[in-house]
Structure 1
Amino acid sequence: MIINRQPTAQTGAMSVLAALLESRTGQQIAANRAWRIETALKPVLKARGHETLDQLVAELLDDQTGIIADMIVDALLNQESSFFRDGQILDTVVAAINARETPGSRRLRIWSAACSNGQEPLSLAMLFADRFERTGMAEPEILATDVSEAAIQRARAARFSQFEIQRGLPVRQMIKWFDAVGSDWIANPDLVRKITFRRHNLVGDPPPCGRFDVVLCRNVLFYLSPTLRKRVFDLLAEVMRPGGLLVLGAGETVAGQTCAFIPSPDYRGLYERVVTPASAIETAAA
């Protein structure tokens, strides 16, 4: 990233920091939410021994390692998440997978994009593990990605505070899948192994390999410009099987954004990958 080393009154420290976030992730911070920059960066200011954002930006501009930029971007990303968030949607995902599985069929695939610290893919893994115990139906392959390497490391470690563990996680699941270690809770390795965690930038990296039956990409697109949003929709369409299902956040939609997806006629709140003649041939050959 090229950063203006002589910020003017118009650019300022906040503008430099917002530009860094956008260049790395495509995410924009609206002018009326600029206050969030200072709030989110308070821990970084303290850790670096600074009192102002101007001092932090000065260190950023002199840093040749990229460490400071990584710290800033990780702090500015909205990693808000919880276990079984919007549980009805996750139940719908399970129902959709159930409907698509047949005896002897291939293993189905789910991509949890922008997975934050791992609560979403871990919730899915618990649901499908419970289903396997009840029915013997195979568990789908789950890929979980995030633009933040720090978030992915946390997700792999699957270590959560008491506050995080109480947000949405039923007591039965907590006892079954988590062990108390000091004041934290750590997920059973058998649960974590059901998920492949990987760093991935939705607006800058090539798409993951293979095709997915369900993609969850919740509460990410509304931070992007219309141009980048279209690019991400194209990427998601590229990696999904025709008729595959896309899960967006409650405040997001495909309407007016892309022609690759339509509201699912079968699953309320989900979107379906449009089947084109070319994709139909691809499905028949798969």
Structure 2
Amino acid sequence: MSTLTERNEPAGPAGTTARPAEVADGYRAGRTLPLRVELARQLKRRRTYVMGAVLALLPFVLVVAFAIGGEPDRPGGRVNLMDTATASGANFAAVNLFVSAGFLLVIPVALFCGDTVASEAGWSSLRYLLAAPVPRMRLLWSKLVVGLGLSLAAMVLLPVVALAVGTAAYGWGPLRIPTGGALDPGTAAQRLVIVVAYLFVSQLVTAALAFWLSTRTDAPLGAVGGAVGLTIVGNVLDAVTALGDWRHFLPAHWQFAWADAVQPSPEWSGMIQGAAVSVTYALVLFALAFRGFVRKDVVS
């Protein structure tokens, strides 16, 4: 008995009836390319291991740097976050986030979201995935969810390793605030969770930009490099004070707003504005990615 069934399609132009499409018995579009399958594929890739190793090694590098460097110079007696890095494990974790938020954390986000579709096209396997058949929207959705999930995992990995390394090197204690005061360890841990969550939301712009570029090119390096490059351009523009209030529309302007969360009395306005800007840009870019890919003639 045949395993294919016929499904009537809507009428075509000029009232003609489209040819019935043959669909295999038991076929469900929503079951194609499950998230666990896509996640397993991405976890097996070498760049995932390399990126994880780089983030996990950073705290060890900083411990060695602080051990070699000794006490920092403090012009005018001013104390900043870097000066408190060795005060406790919580301070060390906060410093790791501070030194990596501007650039290092951009790379895994751009890599995991920008390499995902373009790499399939570069391997000439994208058309075979679609012929499986995996619906285009399903394919993009699976790859986007896994890309964002790996990006979040990378952002969680760094502070977790830093907290463990910092606690082993400097002890478990309150998070000292450069402006005065301290947060007890329990409160500090909660605030660090908020910081990581904000960093993830603020990086959605980079993720969306990389994902959109990934649907437009067959070169993974072009998608990843383009996203990183445009993020750097945003940082440069934010440094141009002549732009005045126009800088408030740049996601880079709010990338360190999370510092307001590690104060005795946290201030949320900056993080709310930064999150709103990031999510707005990200939604537009994600929409462009899905809209363009659905209409794209895939030949790779």
Q: TM-score, normalised to structure 2's length?
A: 0.29
More helix by share: 2
Instruction: Point out the structure with the larger strand share.
Output: 1
Normalising by the residue count of structure 1, what TM-score does the alignment of the two structures yield? 0.30
